Structure formats: C-alpha cells, structure tokens
Amino acid sequence: MQKELDAIYAGDPAGFTKGRDELAKSLKKKGEAELAAEVKKLKRPTKAASIINALSLGHAKAVGRVLDAGDELRRIQENLDKANAGERLRAASAEQREAIDAALEIAAAELDATGATLDRIMETLQATASNEGVADAVRTGRVEREGQAAGLGEALVATGGGSRPKKSRAKPTQKKAAESKAATERKRRDAERAVAKAEEKRDAATKDEAEALQRLREVEKELRAAKATHDAAEKTLERASRAAAKAKAALEGLDD
C-alpha cells in the first residue's frame, strides 16, 4: 500500500483526491474498513508539498543530503559548548545551504517549481534542521503542507506501514510554534549568510591590504634605489663641474 501512497503523494495534486478515494475504495473491498477510513481522511498536499514529496521519493540522494546536513546542525546546536562548535556550525550551515540549493535546482529543472513555490520548498527544507517531525515527513514523502506532515492515523501506520512514522494533526498552537521555529531558522540562516558574506569581504580586504603593503614596500625599495642613483649622479656631476672649472681656468691661464 505504501507504493500506492507514494504515487498519490508525489503525483499531481489535482489527481490526489481521485487516487486517494480509489485506494480507500480498494481497501474497503478487501475488508480493511478502518484503514480505508484513515486513507479517506488524507488531505491533498499543496503544490509545494507535492513537489517536496516527489523530490523525496524520486531523488532520495539529494533530499538525504539535506536531511543529513540538518541532522548535523541539530547535533552541533545541542553541543555548542564543545570545542570548535562555531567553526563546525558554519561548515554545517554551508553544507545545508549547498544541499538545499542542489535540491531546488532539481525541483526547478525537473518538477517545474518556480517563484513562490520554490521559496516554500526552501523554507520547508530549511525547517528540517529544527523540526524533526518535518524532517520525518520530508524523508518519507508525506508532506501535506509546507513545514507540516500529513495527518496519518494509527490504523494506517499499523498495517504494512511500519516504516512510516506516525503523525498526528498539528494543533493550532503547535502549528504556530512550528511556524515560529521556521521563522527563527530563516532569520538564523539569513544572519549566517550575512556573516559569511562579511567574512568574505573581510578576507578580500585583508588580501588587498597585504598586496598593497607588499607593493608599497617594493615601491619604497625602488625609491631608495632611485635616490641612491640620484645621489651618485649628483656627486659625479659635482666632480665633473669642478674638473670643468679647473680645466677652464687652466685654459685661461694659457691665453695670458
């Protein structure tokens, strides 16, 4: 049954209701009335959610990289008192950004995601680092709303879906908390990107300053050499002038 659910969740949202109802009808005919009722309750994913599901189920390696990066971020954030935590956090954040960018490229190139849809996909993938429920939903291809798992009931999980994590529908307060966490996560990501850019500018400025200093030293060396040459030429001129004056005086003495 999980294969049927995979196809429904990763397919076109417009065909979700039909696929869901057909699966529920089939289950009911097989005597699985409780399971059929749970399937019937499933809600159609948003466009962004369906693309995330398609990414997870069709591009597991790319999504796995995003989830692994999120797992590493969570571990580091839980141990910020450890040595090199800041450096490791920056590295893990950079890896997550690269992983999400790669997943977004697939979504745009192969799944026709554009504009605001891509933004929602990005926000949900970012949320996997701070919300394990969202991470599980993305991992299993069961995202119902951006940043929210599908509401799968107990009966659905108990029958052949043991590998699927059990989810309950989020209460309004839980949803607000998740949205708040996602917003905080976005702000943290923005701050980290700003820090990274500032550090890049600082490193570039440091390099420019070092190159300028080196050039200044070279110019100063050239200037010293030029001054020495000038001083030597000046002394030579002085000696030549004295010799010329002496020769002129001698010449004038002969005329007398």
Domain boundaries, given as residue ranges, for the chain: 2-170
If we measure between CA atoms, which residue out of 196, 171, 51, 180 comes closest to residue 109? Answer: 51
Of 150, 179, 147, give the one whose Cα is nearest residue 167.
150
> How many Å separate Cα 17 from the centre of its chain?
34
pLDDT of the residue at 102: 94
Average pLDDT over residues 87-95: 89
The residue to which tokens 């200044």 are assigned: 216
Choice between 88 and 155, residue whose per-residue pLDDT is larger: 88
Short-list 204, 224, 206, 226, CA closest to 214: 206
Determine the pLDDT at residue 181: 54
Residue 175 pLDDT grade (very low, low, confident, very high; cuts 50, 70, 90):
very low
Average pLDDT over every residue of 88-97: 90
Work out whether the CA dihedral 133, 137, 139, 140 comes out positive or negative. positive
54 token code pair:
């398609």
